[in-house]
A and B are shown apart, each in its own frame.
Chain A
Amino acid sequence: MTLERRVATTGANCFLPRLSQGLLWALVWSFAAPIVAFPQQNNSKEEFLVLPGETGRFGGRVVVALRAEPKTLNPLIAADVNSREVIGAIQADLVHINRTTQSTESAVAKSWKISPDGLQYTLVLRRGLTFSDGYALDADDVLFTFRVYLDEKVHAPQRDLLLFEGKPISVRKIDPQTLVFRLPKPYGVAERIFDGLAILPRHLLEKPYEEGKMGQLGTLATPPNQWAGLGPFRLKEYVAGQRLVLERNPYYWKTDAKGNRLPYLNELVFLFVPSADAQVLRFQSGETDLISRLGAENYSVLSREQKDYTMVDAGPGLEYNFLFFNLNEPGEKTSAETPQKLRWFREVKFRQAVSAAIDREAMVRLVYQGRGSALWGLVTPGNRLWRDDQLPHPPRSLDKARGLLKEANFSWNTASNGGSTLVDSSGKPVEFSIITNSSNTDRSKMAALIQDDLKQLGMRVQVVPLEFRSLLDRVMQTKEYDACLLGIVSPDADPNVDINVWLSSGGTHLWNPSQAHPATQWEAEIDRLINEQMYARTFEQRKRLYDRAQEILWDYQPMIFLASPDILTDARKAVGNFRPAVLEPYVLWNVEQLYLRNDAVNASR
């Protein structure tokens, strides 16, 4: 019964039953009244999380630009970056990954214990926590949350994380503060799966859930009093096409080192600014205070201005860009040329030669203006714990590439204009196209550099920028392409988030997705290593298995890794506690600690 836990402290004026239910509610209320009194006592001993760091000032508001309107506020269906960014400020999770240390720390759950067999996690909730609308939180909310996430009909994107070889995690309530999670198989870093799983307010969502309306909830137009979370901010106002305004959550459960209840800011405003260039202009004109992700060119434009901006290069992030060849079995609809091309692409030495011929250093310099790093493996240098320093990173060598091609029976024809053309053993010139997403100029540039690199090997390469959706359609559905240049941003430092890239059965195993059986020996070997590390107990074991898998990727080059950009961010000097991280959300991860310095609060709009 939703009403039983209604906290009396919010006062009766918050209690505005809808007309149709008024009578029923009043009835329940009269029975429930004695029980309601009990959580009130808890409030006196709220267990706050005390954050270290600079103590800020209260008040003011910070304006952030988003690339597009968030599609939803509902964490159960949110898949786009903008929605996640907003939800991150409204909701909270049981265990949280600290964006700077990249390791887990307690959040809504005060502590957790792992049983000796690694199968059982006991989480204790913080006492006296309250949703942003004043309703108290208890273990039933958590039970409800996991019931919804695991419900197949809801199609929550997080559901896959909670399944272990198809079997779901199970949750049991011990007492109002304690829960036991049981895994079907041991999993080394199970506490990381709690990050980003927003704890849902049962009192608001249980009824719609039972009516099967979960997917329709949480549009941007939701009235603020019908939406609640455990995050630092709550919904205040939404102006379609322009902005979304969040206000301070007065019940937030974190304090600063001096014991003041966070967040510092009164308001957090998201403006919808469609393009990166427009975001820079808005920032320059003073309409926004933060830019959460800048391109290298715009970063240097703003740096040159030398105004009172805090420009932060947070170092290489978790985005990896790579080139891959189409290694799918030719289907019925593929063109006549494809089998021939497939023979080249399947030749390991061909892929190795392409990899050897690519000038990654030039890519970093020309595409990222030096603010990035060259890549030789899937785990980026920004991933402090998991990067493999043992992975070979040979410099570009055209001679080596030519040698490899010669070994694979390719040869060169000298053309009349002095250039030479690479031909395969049957005399056919090597020509192929690289598709890439047209909206990302960095990737188009990389493709143009590769085109020039491979021209020196005598390959004729066409670069075809495609709209992202039709590109994905070609890679995932029709499989009509030669090669593709793409990038993936890992949402977390733990490499398990990219598991669908690694596993041959994975949907984003891009060069040959969703295989029923591994097509090659080495893919089978990677599958084995990745599955083994899932259940390895120590970090060292897992790291060793992942390193081995990366080496196999390097040996067979199904993905030719190119470069990884730095996370470049920018804020007005007035914004305090601005400490960007390389994990998403780059600048808003500590939004509860952001504050405006002295002068700025007074001058605040």
Chain B
Amino acid sequence: MVVFAGFLGPYDPTEQDRKSPYLPPMRLHLVDAQGHFHARPFVYSLTRREGAFDQYEEDTARPLPLKFFVKGARYRLLGFVPLRWHSFGTESDRIYLLGSDSYGRDQLSRFLYGGQVSLFAGLLGAGITLLLGLCVGALAGFYGGWRDDLLMRLAELFLALPWLYLLFALRAFLPLAVSPLQAFFLIIAVLGTVGWARPARLVRGVVLSAKERDFVRAARGFGATGGYLLRRHILPGASSVLLTQAAILVPQFVLAEMTLSFVGLGVPEPVPSWGNLLSSLQQYSVLVSYWWMYLPAFIMVPFFLGYLGLGSRLQQYGEPYKIGK
């Protein structure tokens, strides 16, 4: 869904509608105020109460019928197909199905676009982390000796470092302004390099035990090279570990991205990301006044659960040898 954010979301996620800050989600109606039934769902436009900042009421005189496939803000589908079609919208006023934020930006569009950024960063970051972890773990476990010592001490060093403070220092060396694209790759790089130590240690453990197994010894006896052994016999055993790690890492990285935004290394406003959406909940007034600001967080929950489920299914499917009986 997030891949087609531009199409599914009705608006540009950075577009500010300054007359509607903190507008609550509009309710879809089928029956109007006079009791007539309409086949096409519609919303009533919300007007701000006189003198109030964030109090709205439904204006039953102004129904906004929901239209599908409307022309709106330009966007690029999948990053390169320029389009103006959106899955739904209205003709005159703006429609907010998930409410709006403090600048009057559409939360639904922001959630979808934010997913694009966060999930992609999470997946890529997890990929890099696992790849690094796999290589280091396999090398250390398989070859052992001084390589093992060196790599594992390095991993321990990485685990022991106070990352947040190092990132502060890193921020000082970077140029002042970071464009959203640079920030995005920066996040991936940071996440990838910070996280490799734990999977590397796990992989090393798996490799250590696997290389002493009989079939590995047998293959070695037949003259298989180290590289072949690793590729064919040992690393497939580590796949289950990696998949579970991946399932844990992606949600972790979405949260980490939020921390990074806080340090000034994250995706800068106004570009949305799930981290940005969550961080608006840090304000007490938002927490107690605007319930719809929680919605992105609630929608993320089934998503992450689904991801964990996927991870465990993959693990079952991908397990080539049942260890034990």
A295 CA / B102 CA spacing, docked (Å): 15
Contact A301-B177, Cβ < 8 Å, known A366-B18, A369-B54: no
A470 to B176, CA, bound (A): 11
Q: Are B268's CB and A463's CB within 8 A?
A: yes
- Contacting residues of chain B (262-294) with chain A, CB-CB under 8 angstroms: 264, 268-270, 283-286, 288-289
Chain B CB count within 10 A is highest, among A300, A301, A366, A441, for A366
B316 to nearest A CB, angstroms? 45
Cβ of B115 under 8 Å from chain A: no
Q: Tell me the bound Cα distance from A300 to B285 in angstroms.
A: 8
Judged by a CB distance under 8 angstroms, whether B103 is at the interface is: yes
Are B269 and A464 interface neighbours, CB within 8 A? no
Closest Cβ of chain A to B14, distance in Å, is 7
The number of residues on chain A lying at the interface, defined by a beta carbon within 8 Å of a beta carbon of chain B, is 39
Residues of B within 8 A of A416 (CB): 82
Q: How far is the CA of A463 from the CA of B103 in the complex (A)?
A: 15
Asked if B53 lies at the interface with its beta carbon under 8 angstroms from chain A, I say: yes
A464 near B264 with CB under 8 A, answer yes
Neighbour of A365 across the interface among B53, B176, B269, B285, CB < 8 A: B53
Per-residue contact bits, chain B 157-189, to A (CB 8 Å; 1 contact, 0 not): 000000000000000100011110000000000
| Interface 0/1 of B228-256, CB less than 8 Å to A | 00000000000000000000000000000
Q: A297-B285, A417-B82 in contact; A433/B74 too (CB < 8 A)?
A: no
CB <8 Å contact, A470 and B178 = no
B265 to chain A, nearest CB (A): 11
Of the residues B14, B82, B103, B289, contact of A300 by C-beta under 8 Å: B289
Answer whether residue B311 sits at the interface, using C-beta atoms and an 8 A cutoff: no
Q: Which of B176, B268, B285 contacts A480 (CB 8 A)?
A: B176
Nearest CB in chain B to that of A280: its residue:
B284
User: Does A418 sit within 8 A of B, measured CB to CB?
Assistant: yes
- A464 contacts which of B21, B103, B177 (Cβ < 8 Å)? B177
Q: Among the listed B16, B74, B176, B268, which residue makes an inter-chain contact with A452, where contact means beta carbons less than 8 Å apart?
A: B16
CB-nearest residue of chain B to A445:
B102
Q: Which of chain B's residues have a CB closer than 8 A to the CB of A438?
A: 264
Cross-chain contact B289 with A452 (CB below 8 angstroms)? no
For B286, the chain A residues whose CB sits under 8 A away are 297
Given A366, A462, A470, which contacts B177 in the complex, CB threshold below 8 Å?
Answer: A462
B21 touches A366 (CB 8 A): yes
A391 at the interface (CB under 8 A from B): no
Could you tell me the dominant secondary structure of chain B's interface residues?
loop
State which residues 416-432 of A face B: CB under 8 Å: 416-418, 432
Q: Which of A277, A366, A470 contacts B102 (CB 8 A)?
A: A366
Could you say which residues of chain A place their CB within 8 Å of the CB of B172? 470
What 1/0 flags go to B94-122 for Cβ under 8 Å of A?
00000000111000000000000000000
Instruction: Assess the B18–A433 pair: CB atoms within 8 A.
Output: no
A441–B53 CB distance below 8 A: no
Q: Is A281 an interface residue (CB 8 A)?
A: yes
Contact of B283 among A297, A451, A452, A474 (CB under 8 A): A297
Cβ of A298 under 8 Å from chain B? yes
- Chain B residues with Cβ below 8 Å from A462 are 177-179, 268
In the complex, per-residue mask of A434-453: 1 if CB is within 8 Å of any chain B CB, else 0: 01001001001100110110
Once the chains bind, are B284 and A277 in contact (CB under 8 Å)? yes
Residue ID in chain A nearest B15 by CB atoms: A452
Task: Please tell me if A319 contacts chain B, counting CB pairs below 8 Å.
Answer: no
What residues of B have a CB within 8 angstroms of the CB of A301 in the complex?
A: 284-285, 288-289
Min CB–CB distance B266 → chain A (angstroms) = 11
Question: Given that A365-B18, A464-B176 are known contacts, is A451 also in contact with B270, CB under 8 Å in the complex?
Answer: yes
In angstroms, Cα B270 to Cα A463, docked, is 9
Q: Contact: B284 with A281, CB < 8 Å? A: yes
Most chain A CB atoms below 10 A, which of B82, B104, B270, B288 = B288
Partner of B269, one of A280, A298, A362, A448: A448
- B104: chain A residues within 8 A (beta carbon): 366
**Complex contacts, A418 vs chain B, CB 8 Å:** 74
Q: Is A168 an interface residue (CB 8 A)?
A: no
Decide yes or no whether A518 CB sits under 8 A from chain B.
no
Query: Measured between alpha carbons, how far is A366 from B21 in the docked complex, in Å?
Result: 7
Please indicate the chain B residues that have their CB under 8 angstroms from the CB of A59 in the complex: none
On whether the beta carbons of A448 and B283 are closer than 8 Å, the reply is no
Q: Does A472 contact B (CB under 8 A)?
A: no
Contact of B270 with A466 in the complex, beta carbons under 8 Å: no
Smallest CB separation, A63 vs chain B (Å): 20
Nearest A residue (CB) for B183: A462
Q: Is the CB of A448 within 8 A of B176?
A: no
Q: Smallest Cβ distance from B282 to chain A, in angstroms?
A: 9
CB distance from A178 to the nearest CB of B (A): 54
Residues in B with CB closer than 8 Å to A448 are 103, 269-270
Set B76, B103, B268, B288: member contacting A366, Cβ < 8 A: B103
Q: Do A298 and B82 have beta carbons less than 8 Å apart?
A: no
Residues of B within 8 A of A464 (CB): 176-177, 264, 268
Closest residue of B by beta carbon distance from A463: B269
**How far does the Cβ of B109 sit from chain A's closest Cβ, in whole Å?**
15
Question: Distance in Å from the Cβ of B89 to the closest Cβ of chain A?
Answer: 18
User: Could you tell me the distance between the alpha carbons of A535 and B79 in the complex, rounded to whole angstroms?
Assistant: 65
Smallest Cβ-Cβ distance to B179: which chain A residue:
A462
A309 at the interface (CB under 8 A from B): no
- Is residue A465 within 8 Å, beta carbon to beta carbon, of the partner chain? yes
Q: A369-B54, A418-B74 are in contact. List 10 more A-B contacts (CB 8 A).
A: A297-B285, A297-B286, A298-B284, A300-B53, A365-B18, A370-B53, A417-B82, A452-B103, A463-B269, A464-B176
> Which residues of B are in contact with A by a Cβ distance under 8 Å?
14, 16, 18, 21, 51, 53-54, 74, 76, 82, 102-104, 172, 176-179, 264, 268-270, 283-286, 288-289
A: which residues have CB within 8 A of B?
277, 280-281, 295, 297-298, 300-301, 304, 359, 362, 365-366, 369-370, 416-418, 432-433, 435, 438, 441, 444-445, 448-449, 451-452, 462-466, 470, 474, 480-482
Interchain residue pairs A-B with the least CB separation, the first 3: A297-B285, A433-B177, A277-B284
